[in-house]
Amino acid sequence: MSTIPTFRRDLNMGSTWLLPEWSKAPVGDERTVLEGAKAAGYQGIQGANPQLCRELGLVPTTFDIRIEVGGMLDQAKRFVDQGFACATLMVGTGLESDDDAMRLMEEIVSASAEARIPLYVETHRATATQDIWRTLRLIERLPELRFNGDFSHWYTAHDLPIGDFEAKLDLMAPVFERVRYMHGRIGTSGCIQVDIGDGRSEGQPHIDHFRAMWTRAAAGFIAGAANDAVPPPHLELGFAPELLPNEFGYAIKVPNADGVLEELGDRWQQAVVLTDIAQQCFSAAHV
Profile the chain (287 residues) by mean pLDDT over runs of 10 residues: 87 97 95 98 98 98 97 98 98 97 98 98 98 98 98 97 97 98 97 96 95 98 98 97 95 92 95 98 92
Query: What is the rounded CA–CA span in Å between residue 204 and residue 79?
Result: 39
Q: What confidence score (pLDDT) does residue 28 get? A: 95
Query: What is the rounded CA–CA span in Å between residue 38 and residue 19?
Result: 18
When computed from its CA atoms, the radius of gyration of the chain, rounded to whole angstroms, is: 18
156, 126 Cβ separation under 8 angstroms: no
148, 182 Cβ separation under 8 angstroms: yes
Query: What is the rounded CA–CA span in Å between residue 70 and residue 106?
Result: 11
Give the number of other CB atoms < 10 A from CB of residue 83: 13
Instruction: Please report, for the chain, the start and end positions of each structural domain, with discontinuous segments joined by +.
Output: 6-285
123, 176 Cβ separation under 8 angstroms: no
CA 13 remoteness from chain centre: 12
Query: What is the rounded CA–CA span in Å between residue 144 and residue 109?
Result: 7
Q: What confidence score (pLDDT) does residue 2 get? A: 61
Note the pTM of the prediction, 2 decimals. 0.96
Scored b (16 or more CB within 10 A) or e, 196-220 reads beebeeeebebbebbbebbbbbbbb
Give the chain's length. 287
14, 250 Cβ separation under 8 angstroms: no
Residues ≥6 apart with Cβ < 8 Å to 78: none
Choosing among 3.50.50.60, 3.30.300.30, 3.20.20.150, 3.40.50.300, the CATH entry for 6-285 is 3.20.20.150
